[in-house]
Chain A
Amino acid sequence: MGNEIIDEIREEMINCQTERVLNLVPKAIDQGIDATTIVNQGLTAGIRVLGDRFEKGEAYLPELAVAAETMKQALEFLEPHLAKSQDEDALGTIVIGTVQGDIHDIGKSIVATMLTVAGFTVYDLGVEVTPAQFVSKAREVNADIIAMSALLTTTMDRMQETIELLKTEKLDQRVKIMVGGAPVSQDFADSIGADGYGVDFNQAVKIAKRLTGATEG
Chain B
Amino acid sequence: MPSLTPFQRVMSLLRGEQPDRVPVIPQITYTTAQITGVGLVEALHSPEKTAEALLAGQRELGYDAIYVGWESSFNLLAEAMGCTMRFPKDSVPQVADHIVKSPNDIDKVAIPDPHSSGRLPLHMEMVKLVKDAVNCDVPLFAYTPGPFTLAGQLAGVNALMVATIRNPEFVSTLLSLTTKASMRYALANVEAGVNVIVTADPTASGSLISPKTFATFAAPHLTQIAKAVTRVGSIASLHICGKTAMILDQMASTEVQILELDHLVDMQEAQEHIGQQVILMGNLNPTELLLNGTPAEVEAAAKWCIETVGQDGRFILSSGCEVPPLTPLNNIRAMVAAAEKYGQFS
Contacts and interface: CB of A to CB of B under 8 A. Distances in A.
A116 interface: no
Interface stretch (B89-97, B122-130, B309-317, B328-336): B89-97
A59 B291 CA distance: 32
Contact of A65 (B86, B88, B162, B291): B162
B210 to A, nearest CB: 4
A60 B165 contact: no
B161 interface: yes
Contacts of A183: 287, 291, 324
Given A18-B166, A62-B165, A153-B324, A106 B91 contact: no
Interface size class of B (residues with CB under 8 A): 20 to 34
Given A16-B165, A61-B209, A109-B158, A182 B287 contact: yes
Contacts of B253: none
B213 A65 contact: no
A126 B150 CA distance: 21
Q: Is the interface of A mostly helix, strand, loop or mixed?
A: loop
Contacts of B95: 103
Interface residues of A, number: 25
A101 B90 contact: yes
Contacts of B91: 101, 152, 154-155
A60 B157 contact: no
Given A66-B165, A103-B94, A106-B158, A57 B243 contact: yes
A124 interface: no
A61 B208 contact: yes
A154 B287 CA distance: 12
Contacts of A106: 157-158, 208
Contacts of A11: none
Interface in A7-29: 16, 18
Contact of A69 (B157, B162, B243, B325): B162
A62 B326 contact: no
A63 B165 contact: yes
B158 A65 contact: yes
Contacts of A57: 206, 243, 246
A153 B325 contact: yes
B26 to A, nearest CB: 15
A29 B157 CA distance: 34
A105 interface: yes
A119 B165 CA distance: 28
Contacts of A152: 91
Interface in A49-97: 57, 59-66, 69
B103 to A, nearest CB: 17
B344 interface: no
B150 to A, nearest CB: 16
Contacts of A182: 287
Contact of A66 (B88, B166, B291, B326): B166
Contacts of B157: 105-106
Contact of A62 (B90, B94, B164, B243): B164
Interface in A171-187: 182-183, 185
Contacts of B86: 103, 128
B95 to A, nearest CB: 7
A152 B322 CA distance: 11
Nearest to B211: A60
Nearest to A188: B292
Interface string B90-134: 110011100000000000000000000000000000000000000
A109 B326 CA distance: 28
B162 A66 contact: yes
B92 to A, nearest CB: 8
Contacts of B166: 18, 66
B100 to A, nearest CB: 16
Given A106-B158, A152-B91, A154-B90, A62 B287 contact: no
Given A101-B88, A154-B325, A60 B287 contact: no
A62 B161 contact: yes
Interface string B151-175: 0000001100110111000000000
A156 to B, nearest CB: 10
Interface in A96-122: 101, 103, 105-106, 109
16 contacts: A16-B165, A18-B166, A57-B246, A60-B208, A60-B213, A61-B208, A61-B209, A62-B161, A62-B209, A62-B213, A65-B161, A101-B90, A153-B325, A154-B324, A183-B287, A183-B291
Given A103-B95, A153-B287, 6 more contacts: A60-B209, A60-B210, A64-B161, A65-B161, A153-B291, A153-B326
Interface of B: 86, 88, 90-91, 94-96, 157-158, 161-162, 164-166, 206, 208-210, 213, 243, 246, 287-288, 291, 324-326
Interface of A: 16, 18, 57, 59-66, 69, 101, 103, 105-106, 109, 128, 152-155, 182-183, 185
Q: Which 9 A-B pairs have the closest CB atoms?
A: A65-B161, A153-B324, A62-B161, A61-B208, A60-B210, A103-B94, A62-B164, A65-B162, A101-B88
